[in-house]
Structure 1
Amino acid sequence: MLIFKEDIVLNGYTCIVPSLGVGNVSQLSTDLIISTLKLKQVATGFHKALIPIFGPSAFQHEPDSFTNALNVYIDSSKKLLAFQIRSPLIGKHTKDFLNNLVEFLKKSQVSKIFADHKKEFSASSSPKFSLVKISQRYGSVVNK
């Protein structure tokens, strides 16, 4: 699913995973974090759930990189890992994609996952944000 440019140990990192939804607020917020902190692109991802896209770098600080449906960025000094998903997920493959993502995060031993989620959209509702911590045994995920 992910192709890394180099070997990276992600133990103890905080991970940002934006949800895809109305208005792309999560993706734009992640872009702002990547751009402001000048995170380094370290991986690109492919999966049958992702609609393929390809284009030039999305960030001025990384002019030689490229953008595709899934890119991964880090700041090793801050122990910050950010996924940027720029493609809608194809419904029938979404569960497999998410299972692969969770399995990768478990194996990587990231300490925290910041993910927002929104099940439905209405003018009177607001997004819910969660800080998720993977248990030591990786048997469960706990919302904080």
Structure 2
Amino acid sequence: MSQQFTVVAPPPLTSLAPGFRFHPSDEELVLYYLRRKVCALSFRFQAVAEIDVYKSEPWELAGFSPLNTRDREWYFFCPVDKKYGNGSRLKRATEQGFWKATGKDRVVSHKEETIGLKKTLVYHTGRGPHGKRTDWVMHEYRLSEHELKRVQVAQV
């Protein structure tokens, strides 16, 4: 059960008071937001929408953010879709381009324990392998195997 980011609740707050910013650390994104989403727990504040980011181009994503700010960072829970039924590669193509992973996955830790992994992707227009690199960057987070097992035990 791999999910990267629905709970029925009263209408959530969607705007922050002037001067406040939503800028969680990697640890907060994994430990609070992603783990709560995987466990189907509610949030106190609706800061992260659930959409399939691969059905939109990067310049369209701001319109899906529940937070109305001028910040150029948006946070989304996104379902994963395998490229091939029996493989481990994920579909990361949009209509006009694709997201390509760069570098190694980085560890996200809490109290010296690995709780998740962070992957950096860069958007390319066109089709691989000849797509043109852009300045759009996305960070993808996932729970570590150990954390996923702990979450599953907590749900049983």
* TM-score normalised to structure 1 length: 0.28
Could you say which structure has the greater relative contact order, defined with CA pairs below 8 angstroms and 6 or more residues apart?
1
TM-score by length of 2: 0.27
Larger fraction in strand: 1
Larger CA Rg, structure 1 vs 2:
2
